[in-house]
């Protein structure tokens, strides 16, 4: 069994007769067959082979195979976006009358799927507080089929104990589905702790350069088979071009995420001592409420830092305006450092009370720390803190 970095680089789809060293892009919607018999056998699943790119394509297969090795998963299916992966992982496996227990701190669009759309198909949910794990077991109902969590969560960086959760899911025979977007498989592998499914927005760190949308769902073979059939029939498949980009990106995931984490850790430490910063959240800071759990299940703290700026919403917006280098954009996990102010943007539609319930304070700023030199990142953030006074 090869190591993480080696798998990320050396897992490649077969060479063509041109013997290319870098795997080419298979920009084709369908594939041909030698004869009627081969066509029949491949369609009947008796023989492996490419049919049509909504089903399978060498570029998406390569991306899936790499991700399986990196997450320790039996199987995977690549999708057009992270949301497509999350939606498919729920819709393929649950039916009317089923119930989801979800952490309340989850990505905004996941919340929309769970709270707005799933009820239309009779799938109900309960939100559980990550900071009160002792309340979770009592929230599991007879019809609970899935537990859904994000750790660390976006944007609050809440951490949940995956080992404890894996045991809880096993005890109650429910599917544990973990959105591993913030940690990436380089820092954390939820399947080791008993997760049955792992979903990713490949748009973030897996691409890492803000170029393409993509997603993937990985996990137990029999579950992925069902999800694959759902996706092959409904069509949220990943485009070959995006799969090609993403598979190349995985070659550098380890060194990128290592540097993202080093830069973020340094920035978090400095901000913690800044007089205009009320509170800093970073998984590997001693002050993080779940620091011990983070240390146990993650190898580094990741690339996201959040902090509470003195002066609330008004100062938060002034701070963004004062930044000279950092980008104002909705993405994260990019080589470029990105700043957002959740209360006035991604979570502006919620009431202040609802925002506080998911850990979003008025002055919370989220920094996706990039790969620029840390000296330049720090000096831009420091001058913006000064200028926004």
Using the rule CB under 6 A, give the single segment among 28-36, 81-89, 289-297, 338-346 that binds ligand PLP: 81-89
103 lines the binding site for ligand PLP (CB under 6 A)? no
Total residues at the site for ligand PLP (CB under 6 A)? 15
Helix (H/G/I), strand (E/B), else coil: 317: helix
| Alpha carbon 325 to its chain's center | 26
Q: Of 92, 86, 48, 370, which is closest to residue 210 (Cα–Cα)? A: 370
The answer to whether 107 contacts ligand PLP (rule: CB under 6 A) is yes
From 17-25, 29-37, 103-111, 130-138, give the range in contact with ligand PLP by CB under 6 A. 103-111
Do the beta carbons of residue 318 and residue 295 sit within 8 Å? Answer: no
Contact 358, 104 (CB under 8 A): yes
Residue 64 binding ligand PLP, by CB under 6 A: no
Residue 197 CB neighbour total at 10 angstroms: 28
Q: Say how many CA atoms lie within 13 Å of 49 toward its Cβ.
A: 17
Using alpha carbons, list the distances in angstroms from residue 109 to 38, 46, 214, 346: 43, 39, 15, 10
Tokens coding 64: 């899936």
Contact by Cβ (8 Å): 156, 187: no
Task: Say if residues 128 and 104 touch (Cβ distance below 8 Å).
Answer: yes
Q: Which is nearer to ligand PLP, 181 or 384 (CB)?
A: 181
* Cα→Cα distances 346→85, 157, 174, 241, 349, Å: 21, 15, 31, 29, 8
Tell me: does residue 201 bind ligand PLP (CB under 6 A).
yes
**Selected range binding ligand PLP among 102-110, 161-169, 254-262, 301-309, rule: CB under 6 A:** 102-110
Binding flag, residue 243, ligand PLP (CB under 6 A): no
Return the sign of the alpha-carbon dihedral for residues 225, 235, 239, 178: negative
The nearest distance, CB 119 to ligand PLP, in angstroms, is 20
By CB under 6 A, residue 297 contacts ligand PLP? no
Q: Should residue 67 be labelled a site residue for ligand PLP when binding is judged by CB under 6 A? A: no
For residue 289, give the 3-state DSSP assignment.
coil
Candidate residues 68, 70, 92, 213; the one interacting with ligand PLP per rule CB under 6 A: 213
Which of the stretches 37-45, 120-128, 200-208, 231-239 binds ligand PLP when contact is defined by CB under 6 A? 200-208
* Using rule CB under 6 A, residue 260 touches ligand PLP: no
Choose the binding region for ligand PLP from 3-11, 77-85, 129-137, 247-255 (rule: CB under 6 A). Answer: 77-85
Sign of CA dihedral 85, 105, 366, 297: negative
Decide: is 181 part of the binding site for ligand PLP (CB under 6 A): yes
Query: Is residue 159 a contact point for ligand PLP (CB under 6 A)?
Result: no
179 near ligand PLP (CB under 6 A): yes
Q: Please tell me whether residue 215 binds ligand PLP under the rule CB under 6 A.
A: yes
In the bound complex, which residue of the shown chain has the CB atom lying closest to ligand PLP? 82
Residue 150, interface with ligand PLP (CB under 6 A)? yes
Find the shortest distance in angstroms from Cβ 110 to ligand PLP. Answer: 6
Which residue from 8, 121, 142, 134 is spatially nearest to 71, judged by alpha carbons? Answer: 8
Residue 243 C-beta: closest distance to ligand PLP, Å: 14
**Omega of the bond prior to 152 within 30 degrees of 0, cis?**
yes
160 binds ligand PLP (CB under 6 A): no
Q: Is 306 in the site for ligand PLP (CB under 6 A)?
A: no
Binding site for ligand PLP (CB under 6 A): 81-83, 107, 109-110, 150, 154, 179, 181, 201, 203-204, 213, 215
């Amino acid at each position: 069994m090869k190591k993480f970095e080696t798998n990320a680089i050396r897992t490649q789809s077969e060479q063509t007769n041109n013997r290319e060293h870098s795997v080419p892009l298979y920009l084709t919607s369908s594939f041909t067959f030698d004869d009627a018999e081969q066509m029949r056998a491949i369609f009947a699943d008796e023989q492996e082979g490419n049919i049509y790119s909504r089903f399978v394509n060498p570029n998406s297969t390569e991306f899936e195979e790499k991700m399986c090795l990196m997450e320790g998963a039996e199987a995977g299916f690549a999708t057009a976006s992270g949301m497509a992966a999350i939606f498919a992982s729920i819709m393929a496996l649950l039916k009317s009358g089923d119930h989801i227990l979800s952490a309340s701190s989850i990505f905004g669009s996941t919340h929309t799927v769970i709270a707005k759309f799933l009820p239309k198909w009779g799938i109900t949910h309960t939100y559980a507080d990550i900071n009160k794990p002792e309340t979770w077991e009592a929230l599991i109902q007879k019809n609970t089929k899935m537990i859904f969590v994000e750790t660390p969560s976006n944007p609050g960086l809440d951490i949940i104990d995956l080992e404890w959760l894996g045991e809880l899911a096993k005890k109650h025979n429910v599917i544990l589905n973990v959105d591993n977007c913030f940690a990436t498989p380089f820092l954390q592998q939820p399947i080791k702790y008993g997760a049955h499914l792992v979903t990713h927005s490949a748009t973030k760190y897996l691409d890492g350069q803000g170029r393409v949308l993509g997603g993937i769902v990985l996990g137990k073979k029999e579950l992925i088979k069902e999800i694959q059939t759902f996706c092959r029939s409904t069509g949220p498949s990943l485009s070959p071009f995006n799969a090609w980009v993403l598979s190349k990106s995985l070659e550098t995931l380890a060194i990128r995420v290592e540097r993202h984490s080093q830069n973020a850790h340094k920035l978090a430490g400095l901000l913690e001592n800044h007089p205009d910063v009320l509170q800093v959240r970073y998984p590997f800071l001693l002050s993080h409420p779940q620091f011990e759990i983070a240390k146990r299940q993650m190898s580094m703290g990741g690339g996201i830092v959040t902090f509470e700026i003195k002066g609330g919403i008004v100062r938060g917006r002034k701070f963004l305006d004062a930044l000279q280098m950092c980008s104002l954009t909705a993405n994260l996990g990019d080589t470029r450092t990105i700043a957002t102010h959740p209360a006035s943007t991604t979570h502006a539609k919620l009431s202040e009370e609802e925002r506080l319930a998911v850990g979003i304070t008025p002055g919370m700023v989220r920094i996706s720390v990039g790969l620029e030199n840390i000296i330049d990142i720090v000096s831009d953030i420091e001058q913006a803190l000064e200028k926004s006074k």
